[in-house]
Structure 1
Amino acid sequence: MNSWIDLDALWKILVVGLLTGAGLPALFALALRLLNPPLPTGEPATGSATGSATGSATDRPTAGPAGYALAGLLLAVVLASIGWGISVIVNHR
């Protein structure tokens, strides 16, 4: 083993970096997807980029209580992770 490189610390840094660098954005994206479910296949969208809608706002499917609960849980995990990271940086001695 090389005395200059601590492989155990390097492994821990790699795992935490992957989890926070890719995992937290993935959880955030999943939460947003749960709050905004896709249209059923084959149905056209009821609006355009300019904001003129041909249908009513109720044509779009809603998430439902389970989707809102899971999205809230995922967003809470993301916020807790951010808070924990800030506390680790601030309280580091």
Structure 2
Amino acid sequence: MNDWINLHALWQIVVIGLLAGAGLPALFAVGLRALSLPGGGGAAAAATAGAEDDDDRVIGGSTLGLAVAVLCFAVVLAAVGWGIYLIVAAT
């Protein structure tokens, strides 16, 4: 063990940095992808006249995809809130 470099602390910083720096954006992307899953056929019945080309609606989306997206977004939001809490509590 080197007196100048604490390898245990360095390893912890690398792991947390990878999880927060790459893991949270990847989890957010998974949530966005889950929102775009196709529905079970309810979109055609819910479409109004002249609005068939409008793909910005959540109506008719997959219920499972919406649940996965909510879970992903909740985890990301909790991690951001925890990070803000740690910063504020340290002062």
Asked if the contact 2:37–2:62 (Cα under 8 Å) also holds between the matched residues in 1, the reply is no
Q: Give the TM-score normalised by structure 2.
A: 0.74
Q: Take 2:76 and 2:65, find their aligned partners in 1: how far apart are those partners?
A: 16
| Number of aligned positions between the proteins | 77
Corresponding residue number in structure 2 for 1:3: 3
Corresponding residue number in structure 2 for 1:50: none
Closer, same or farther: CA 11–56 of 1 in aligned 2, 3 Å? same
Runs of 4+ in 1 over 3 A off after TM superposition: 57-60
The one-letter amino acid of 2:18's match is: L
The one-letter amino acid of 2:88's match is: V
The 5-angstrom pairing of residues 1-93 of structure 1 reads 1-37=1-37, 56-57=52-53, 62-92=60-90
The alignment partner of 1:37 has SS state of coil
Closer, same or farther: CA 9–59 of 1 in aligned 2, 3 Å? closer
Q: Give the TM-score normalised by structure 1.
A: 0.73
Percent of pairs identical after alignment? 55
Structure 2 unaligned segments of length 5 or more: list them. Answer: 39-50
C-alpha deviation, 1:59, in angstroms:
7.8
Deviations 1:39-58 (A, max 9, x none): xxxxxxxxxxxxxxxx8147
Taking only aligned residues, the RMSD between alpha carbons, in angstroms, comes to: 2.4
Corresponding residue number in structure 2 for 1:45: none
Structure 1 unaligned segments of length 5 or more: list them. Answer: 39-54
Q: Take 2:55 and 2:25, find their aligned partners in 1: how far apart are those partners?
A: 29
